[in-house]
Amino acid sequence: MAEFPRVNMKVVALAMNMIDGIESHPEIFPSSDPDIVKDALEDFQASSSAYLIAQANAKQAANAKAAAIDKLKSIMKNQIRLARVDTTAKPEYMYYIGVNQRRKPATIQPPLPPSGLHLEMDSDNNMILSWKKPQVNKHRPVCIYIIQQRPADYSEPWQLAGVSYDNYYQLQPKQIQNDKPQVYRIIATNEKGSSLPSGLSPHPHRC
């Protein structure tokens, strides 16, 4: 037996030949029924026609879909351009309309307090007050450190000793030439406020 065709067109051609041959020679093929083959062939041809129509409709629908998404993109891009103009001073606000989602406006909070205060004399006999910076991130930046001092016996209120942009401060002679031992503390600040005061310097200092 020859191999049965695998391509649809060849299957249809064979079906038509079978129908024609059986109808033309019923005496040779008394057991064969050309009507069954006809019905099956008609079903296939109807399905093929429906498939071709569906393909045409799908192509039309795909073209309409592509046109619609292009229109949507164009409108959205124009709106984004307008929004960028509106947020020129605060571009991070574009986050609120879903643009630049990795750049959500940081919610700034006052910084955490410094820690680990330390007093030591450097090689030039200058008294240096140093401390550990608080944990800093985009939500808790530090702009400046405020250094305060008072007598160790708390006989006077806290007074401003100075400010620093880093985690150390050189005490001035007038700040340490005092008849009372002094203690120090640090407050970190940013645009949203101030941290709690740090702990006190470990040892009261008397010049």
Claim to verify: residue 161 and residue 123 sit in the same structural domain: yes
The stretch 136-146 carries a mean pLDDT of 82
Domain boundaries, position 162: 115-194
The stretch 185-198 carries a mean pLDDT of 92
Give percent of the chain with pLDDT exceeding 70: 90
Mean pLDDT, the chain, rounded, equals: 85
Residue 207 lies in a domain: no
pTM of the model: 0.48
For 61, 100, 115, 157, the CA distances from 153, given in Å and listed in that order, are 86, 55, 21, 10
**Each residue's pLDDT tens digit, 113-139:** 999 999 888 877 788 999 999 987 766
Residue 21 lies in a domain: yes
**Each residue's pLDDT tens digit, 34-59:** 999 999 999 989 998 898 898 888 88
pLDDT band at 176 (very low <50, low <70, confident <90, very high): low
CATH code of the domain containing 186: 2.60.40.10
Claim to verify: residue 79 and residue 143 sit in the same structural domain: no
Claim to verify: residue 134 and residue 77 sit in the same structural domain: no
Containing H/E element for 131? strand 127-132
* 207 has pLDDT over 50: no
* 152 has pLDDT over 90: no
Query: Could you give the CA distance from residue 187 to residue 197 in angstroms, rounded to a whole number?
Result: 5
* 101 has pLDDT over 60: no
pLDDT of residue 105: 58
Claim to verify: residue 78 and residue 119 sit in the same structural domain: no
Residue 78 lies in a domain: yes
Burial class (CB in 10 A: 0-12, 13-18, 19+), 109: middle
Residue 31 lies in a domain: yes
Claim to verify: residue 64 and residue 20 sit in the same structural domain: yes
Claim to verify: residue 72 and residue 119 sit in the same structural domain: no
Residue 52 lies in a domain: yes
* 185 has pLDDT over 70: yes
**End position of a domain, from candidates 38, 64, 85:** 85
Claim to verify: residue 75 and residue 137 sit in the same structural domain: no
- Angle between the 8-24 and 34-86 helix axes, to the nearest 10 degrees? 160
The stretch 80-86 carries a mean pLDDT of 90
**End position of a domain, from candidates 34, 63, 85:** 85
**Each residue's pLDDT tens digit, 56-65:** 888 898 898 8
Residue 206 lies in a domain: no
Name the β-bridge partners of 128: 120, 170
For 3, 91, 110, the CA distances from 32, given in Å and listed in that order, are 20, 81, 94
Claim to verify: residue 124 and residue 72 sit in the same structural domain: no
What total number of domains does the chain contain? Answer: 2
**End position of a domain, from candidates 70, 85, 100:** 85
Claim to verify: residue 132 and residue 66 sit in the same structural domain: no
Residue 161 lies in a domain: yes
Residue 2 lies in a domain: no
Containing H/E element for 52? helix 34-86
